[in-house]
Amino acid sequence: YIWAIINNTDPTTPNLDDLGGTPFGGSGTTATPPPPGGGGGGGMPVGVTFLTGLLNPEGKFIQDFVAKSRFGRAFVTIKAGTIGKTWNGVILSWISIKPVEGPMTPPEGGFIVGTPYDFKPDLANFSQNVTITFIFNPADIPEGFTENNLTLAFYDTITGTWILLENIVIDSANHMVSGQCNHFTAFAVLAMPEPEPEPEPEPEPEPEPEPEPEPEPELVEIPPAVMMVSSVSASPVEVLTGDEVVIAGIVRNTGGQGGILN
């Protein structure tokens, strides 16, 4: 007899998302879990790997571990010491890697190469990045693209955008592309066009030469007015008090400025 601890108290038929705690217990002859890296078999659900004995009570993987899809076309590599939990904080007890059901829309200008895979539990998270790897068929690469155009990404349903994984590595010899992520969701290999080169900045115009400063005008000191009086005569020569006399003369200004003779 085999049983699992069920987190869901709803009296409906539980599914794998409801498993928690010590994943399996029983009496009699129990099923032997698949070896690390297995993707099911021997009565196990297709594409599902149970994690019995691979995590400590804190949810930490006690050894490096690889979980694969049914035919090994997609797999995840988890390093020892990584803590894995479901979206609501329950320690992982299984991993499922299956083809995505239904079509996925590629990003503008890009193409989905091969089959996208859904890694579950959905939104399972890890204390450090795990490595997602896909094996691709070169014949699936669309015309006009090469292996260097391949990348791994997941679709963010909140923002409606594709998010590229970190640290993309392309193994051309084995036709594999890998990237790193810290959670589970649906992943796909994308063929993306090369980014358009940024236009070279226009050269800055050479600064116009500054005009030569105009020479300051030369200051010339102009001498003041100099009044010279000559040929002075008076008529009449003798006058009495109160009489008028006419004085005549020649006044000449020999200075550099105008002036008034007082």
209 inside domain = no
Question: What gap in Å lies between CA 102 and CA 138, rounded to an integer?
Answer: 23
212 inside domain = no
Which has more pLDDT, 160 or 54? 54
Which residue, 142, 173, 191, sits at the end of a domain?
Answer: 191
Which has more pLDDT, 164 or 218? 164
pLDDT band at 163 (very low <50, low <70, confident <90, very high): very high
pLDDT of residue 21: 45
Which has more pLDDT, 259 or 67? 67
pLDDT band at 190 (very low <50, low <70, confident <90, very high): very high
Which has more pLDDT, 196 or 140? 140
| Domain identity same for 161 and 237 | no
- Mean of per-residue pLDDT scores for the chain: 82
191: exposed, middle or buried (Cβ count in 10 Å: 0-12, 13-18, 19+): buried
| Domain identity same for 146 and 22 | yes
Which has more pLDDT, 187 or 21? 187
Question: What gap in Å lies between CA 94 and CA 90, rounded to an integer?
Answer: 11
| Domain identity same for 157 and 235 | no
pLDDT of residue 24: 43
**pLDDT 10s digits, 114-151:** 999 999 999 999 999 999 999 999 999 999 999 999 99
User: What SS3 state is found at 72?
Assistant: coil
For residues 26-51, average pLDDT: 53
61 inside domain = yes
pLDDT of residue 38: 43
Most confident range (mean pLDDT) of 16-20, 94-98, 215-219 is: 94-98
Helix runs in 28-175, H state only: none
Question: What gap in Å lies between CA 86 and CA 52, rounded to an integer?
Answer: 16
pLDDT of residue 17: 53
Q: Per-residue DSSP letters for 153-198?
A: EEEETTTTEEEEPEEEEEETTTTEEEEEEEE-SEEEEEE-PPPPPP
Q: What is the pTM of this model?
A: 0.60
| Domain identity same for 233 and 134 | no
112 inside domain = yes
Whether 49 has a pLDDT exceeding 70, the answer reads yes
Domain count, the chain: 2
| Domain identity same for 54 and 142 | yes
How many angstroms separate the Cα of 24 from the Cα of each of 19, 94, 105?
9, 11, 39
| Domain identity same for 247 and 174 | no
The C-alpha angle 171, 172, 176, rounded to 5 degrees, equals 50
Whether 196 has a pLDDT exceeding 60, the answer reads yes
Contact 40, 51 (CB under 8 A): no
| Domain identity same for 187 and 235 | no
Q: Per-residue DSSP letters for 215-254?
A: PPPPP-PPPPP-EEEEEEEEESSS--TT---EEEEEEEE-
Lowest mean pLDDT among 1-5, 61-65, 192-196, 240-244: 1-5
| Domain identity same for 238 and 187 | no
Contact 102, 160 (CB under 8 A): no
| Domain identity same for 138 and 252 | no
Q: Residue 179 sits in which domain range?
A: 2-191
59 inside domain = yes
Q: Please name the residue that has the structure tokens 């479901």.
A: 86
Contact 127, 82 (CB under 8 A): yes
Q: Report the CATH number at residue 170.
A: 2.60.220
- The whole-angstrom distance between residue 54's C-alpha and the CA centroid of its chain comes to 36
pLDDT of residue 63: 96
| Domain identity same for 23 and 137 | yes
Question: What gap in Å lies between CA 46 and CA 30, rounded to an integer?
Answer: 19
Contact 26, 3 (CB under 8 A): yes
